[in-house]
Amino acid sequence: MTNYSSPAAQGSAQGTGAYSEAIAAQVGATNNVGHATDSAGNIAVDFAFGPFPAQPNDERSATISNTGGSTGDYAWGTTTQVASGRLDAALDNHANVEAGWAGYPAYIPAPGNYMVTAASGNGTTVTYTSQNELSAGDVVNITGLTAGAYNLSSATVASADVLKFTVTNSANAGEITGQWYGKVQLTTAATAGDGAGLGNIVVPNVLGQTTAVALDALKDAGYEAGNITTAAAATNAAGSITDIDRTAGSTTVELTGVGFTAAYPVGTKITVASTGTVDGTWTVTGNTSTNKIRFTSNASTVLTSGTGSIIGVAGTIKTQSTAAGASSIATTGTITITPWAAAS
């Protein structure tokens, strides 16, 4: 086990010319300062004491031209430096580098996205509680707060320290605390993953909600507005109810109709008509087969038969592309919601 510092990457100002060529030519050997290398000339890391930066595979290439004639006196000619690819945030400690730093390998703190846990306004200035790396003059978007007046777009930071920042704005919705989904994002952040303090998304259930409410819920959960797609409204042709059941003393109604389970997922808002017994607007709570759905009624009398029609409630969400409850979804994840069209 060895304690050492990482040498300059190949292709850097300190790792070009004969130095890099000498390293790259070695196979499982050592470089000129005694560090073990692999077959590509990269440092072979076994274990390091103390902090040690992430080591992405950063292969860089160069071309050599013979400038010494036929006698073999070689020198570097044109060189080509290949820029490192963006670190893969899905890979272990690469996520830490991607989240908290910029300019690899310089490791400059990267102001990007930060959680906002509280806010207050006095009619002139809004103060946000947030552990951050922002500076006065930064332009930010603030989202996810329960007081909509404090959710600002392209706001200029007036002042900032590591625990809070302020914005000059007339919003005055009192003090709000205990914010779970509040976020401030620098408008120049490279991705929604840049910046410290953001967790993964746990997808909420938005079935049955109006489109506007569903969009707010998804953004509050951590989705970027640009990553939420509202699909064209789904066709809303009436389905035919062929049977209605409710046992004595129960408020659970079961409707039977061809393909009801797929057409009306749990959470969907439905309107039932022409039954004479359970007409109204309800929320689907379950199913027992491909043709049966359930909802909770406001009566408990016995029903053993009946017919009628069913449609989705126009403007409410019929489906969502990522299931409710899905966890470990990246903040850069996408989701599509599909509302019901008007009855056809």
Helix, strand, coil percent values for the chain (each to nearest 5): 10, 30, 60
User: Which DSSP letter does residue 122 get?
Assistant: -
Domain count, the chain: 3
Which of 16-25, 121-130, 138-147 has the lowest average pLDDT? Answer: 16-25
Indicate whether 269 belongs to any domain: yes
**Cβ-contact 218, 239 below 8 angstroms:** no
Edge-to-edge strands, sheet with 280-289: 239-241, 308-312, 269-273, 280-289, 292-296, 252-256, 243-245
Residue written as token pair 């509040």: 182
Same domain, 302 and 282: yes
User: What is the pTM (predicted TM-score) of this model?
Assistant: 0.48
Residue written as token pair 């006196």: 73
Q: Which domain holds residue 246?
A: 239-313
Give the residue among 36, 4, 12, 6 at the shortest CA–CA distance from 23.
36
CA 286 to centroid of chain Cα atoms: 29
**Cβ-contact 139, 186 below 8 angstroms:** yes
Give 290-314 pLDDT, tens digit per residue. Answer: 999 999 999 999 999 999 999 999 9
Domain boundary (59, 85, 111) is at 85
Same domain, 69 and 106: no
The dihedral region occupied by 200, where left means phi > 0, alpha psi between -120 and 50, and beta the remainder, is: beta
- Identify the bridge partners of residue 280 per DSSP, sorted by sequence position: 272
Q: Quick one: pLDDT band at residue 226, thresholds 50, 70, 90?
A: confident
Indicate whether 335 belongs to any domain: no
Edge-to-edge strands, sheet with 183-186: 113-115, 183-186, 139-143, 155-161, 164-168, 125-129, 118-121
Using CA atoms, how far apart are residues 200 and 4, in angstroms rounded to an integer? Answer: 34
Indicate whether 271 belongs to any domain: yes
Q: Which residue has the higher pLDDT, 256 or 79?
A: 256
Indicate whether 234 belongs to any domain: no
Same domain, 96 and 181: yes
Same domain, 79 and 100: no
Q: Quick one: pLDDT band at residue 225, thresholds 50, 70, 90?
A: confident
Indicate whether 326 belongs to any domain: no
Same domain, 132 and 166: yes
